[in-house]
Structure 1
Amino acid sequence: MPAILGLPVLLWQIVFFAAPLVFLIVVTFWRVRSFRLEPDFSLDNWSRILFSTPFQRALVYTGEVAATCTVLTLVIALPAAYTIAFRLPQKIRGLAVTFLVVPIFSSYMLRIYAWQIVLSPDGVINSIVKSAGFTGLPLLGGQFSLQIGLLTLTLPVAILILVLAFSGVDRTLVEAAENLGCRRSKVIRHVLLPSIRNAVFLAGSTAFLMSFGDYISPLFMTGSKPPTLSILIVDTVKSGSQWPRASVIGVTMLAILALVFLAAGFLGRDRRTQKGGR
């Protein structure tokens, strides 16, 4: 019976994830002749992409952007989640969680357009600055606006993960530490953070995944300059319908993200639990 009940999920994964992934990998070995895909088995696409300067620059830049976004996400999400889980009353806490869930299911494109209105040269912030007699600020088109856009995507998810983790912490441990005279900072550092270790790595790896593969913020917040890997995929397809080379970039991105998740899962393991199990 469990196998029968799980069969629809398995079929869904095969049809909509495993099969397209296999096809994507196969396409990396094909060729394009006269703007048409032709089945082949050649490593030319891999060598041309992996050893090309534009790809290497885009890879380094995308990694730097995603790593910066991950750090900023955790720095903001941890205190925010702690405040929601431990400092807010029950009714307000439920409202705060609702405000976290709503952006996840709202249009990401709409939120980016809203930030463009705020950060543009004639936007809300610069209108206030100019009305005060100062020169307008170059807020749109750089790293600042890019990180704002990415945080709009990653922060609600990361905070929600950490709020759920904090809510599952045994509060008697916190009370016991406080009764023994521990300061709030020590309680957070020695009791709370070790208790949500796995959730912290999950939130960080999720933020890295979402920012590493994002296409909308690099396009609309920086004008694709410099290009990230997602932008490079589109540019590669446009240059002569080079689907095989674009597939190489896509497979490389998936491999990197898989390694990040494996590393986060390994680092998030509770070593004490593992030793106790042995």
Structure 2
Amino acid sequence: MKRKFDLYAMTWRLPIIFWQFLFFVGPLLFMVAISFFVVKNYRMTEALEMVNWQKMLSRNYFWDSYWYTIFIAGVSTTVAMVLAFPASFALAFRASDNLRRWAIFLLIIPFFTSYLVRTFSWYVILAESGVVNAMLGQIGLGPFKMLNTHFGTVVGYLTLTLPLVMILQTVTMANVDKTLIEAARNLGCKPLATIWRVVLPLSKTGLIIAALFCFILSFGDFVAPFYLGGSQEPTLPILILDTTKSGQQWPRAAVVAIMMMGTLFAIAFAAIALAYRKGGAR
């Protein structure tokens, strides 16, 4: 049976469709077109050549940045998910509804301030003469170098993503049917086994989405690896900046950006497919 064309529904969808084409599809197509331009005498010239793709994809520094960006974003995602889970679990299953609402509100407050300001505040904390090393010095440890390191980059990523991950995990687990947990305990399931066999499977979709958001934000972030990581091993966003500064090579920077977007699309589709995949019969 054919569905009739719903003019009323389409009327309400058109603004969203127009917005997506104007501010997402349009710039994306323009960026793809730029990747085939050539730069002559520091000016872009319209062309249809693969020289930018050949040069960027054949350079070791591009692939070093590519795999390092995936690695450090993956580490950040893993650390954020592990650190957030105990607090999110307590808020979802141990805290009252009123306390949970206040906790989520407090987790939202960091987003009221600039991420760049929050990142710079870590200079005072992580510097060799900063707060952390001063505390460690009281017990005869340190000073340790924490800025301009992988550790500094991960701390910056967590500053951006950890509150969001905790919110998503808390909301997801708060919607788990509590009677199923009580049934598991009545059947003799131990606490850790209950989490592994009941809570995690029922929260799978929300947890994967939380991890996906964390990875996407970390993968595309410029501030943390540049200011806290020292950009000694440049991530792809830093590589884009360096490329544009090098002879106004916007077409080559477009190649890097397209590779980033292609990677994120692939990871996002795979994560969503895993999140909503139905388990087979046991």
| Smaller-chain TM-score bracket | over 0.9
1:78 aligns with 2:85: yes
1:223 aligns with 2:230: yes
Distance 2:87 2:236 in 1: 31
1:189 aligns with 2:202: no
Structure 2 residue 74 is matched with structure 1 residue 58 = no
Alpha-carbon distance between aligned partners in 2 of 1:217 and 1:206, rounded to the nearest angstrom:
16
Give the corresponding residue for 1:24: 31
CA shift for structure 1 position 135: 4.3
For residue 183 of structure 2, what is the aligned residue in structure 1?
176
Contact 2:37 2:251 in 1 (8 A): yes
- TM-score (normalised: structure 2): 0.93
| 2:171 is aligned with 1:155 | no
Match of 2:245 in 1: 238
> In 2, distance between residues paired with 1:76 and 1:130?
26
Aligned partners of 1:127, 1:73: CA distance in 2, in Å? 26
> Once the two structures are superposed, what CA deviation does each residue of 1:165-206 show, in whole Å capped at 9, x if it has no partner?
112111121122222222221211111111111112111111
Paired with 1:104 and 1:164, the residues of 2 have a C-alpha distance of 18
Amino acid at match of 2:106: F
The answer for the alignment partner of 1:206 in structure 2 is 213
State which drifts further: 74-83 or 58-67.
Answer: 74-83
1:100 to 103, 107, 110: 107
Q: Take 1:220 and 1:200, find their aligned partners in 2: how far apart are those partners? A: 29
Q: What's the offset of the Cα at 1:133?
A: 5.5
Distance apart, 1:58 and its partner CA:
0.6
The code of the aligned residue for 1:157 comes to L
3-state SS of paired residue (1:32): strand
Contact between 2:151 and 2:229, CA under 8 Å: does it hold in 1?
no
Instruction: Tell me how far 1:71 sits from its aligned partner.
Output: 1.0
Alpha-carbon distance between aligned partners in 2 of 1:102 and 1:220, rounded to the nearest angstrom? 23
Gaps of 5+ in 1: none
1:116-148 deviation digits (Å, cap 9, x = unpaired): 110012211223344555542212111111111
Structure 2 portions without partners, runs of 5+: 1-7
Q: Distance in 2 between matches of 1:105 and 1:248?
A: 34
Which shows bigger deviation, 257-266 or 92-101?
Answer: 92-101
Match of 2:4 in 1: none
Alignment-derived partner of residue 9 in structure 1: 16
Q: Provide the residue aligned with 1:41 in structure 2.
A: 48
**Amino acid across the alignment from 2:118:** R
The letter for the 2-side match of 1:31 is V
Q: Which moved more, 1:227-236 or 1:1-10?
A: 1-10
Deviation for aligned residue 1:255: 0.2
- Confirm whether residue 264 of structure 1 aligns to residue 253 of structure 2: no
Q: CA RMSD in A?
A: 1.6
TM-score, length of structure 1 as denominator length:
0.94
AA partner of residue 90 (structure 2): T
Number of residue pairs aligned between Structure 1 and Structure 2: 274
CA distances 1:51-109 after superposition (whole Å, capped 9, x unpaired): 10110111111111011111111111222211111112222211111111122343111
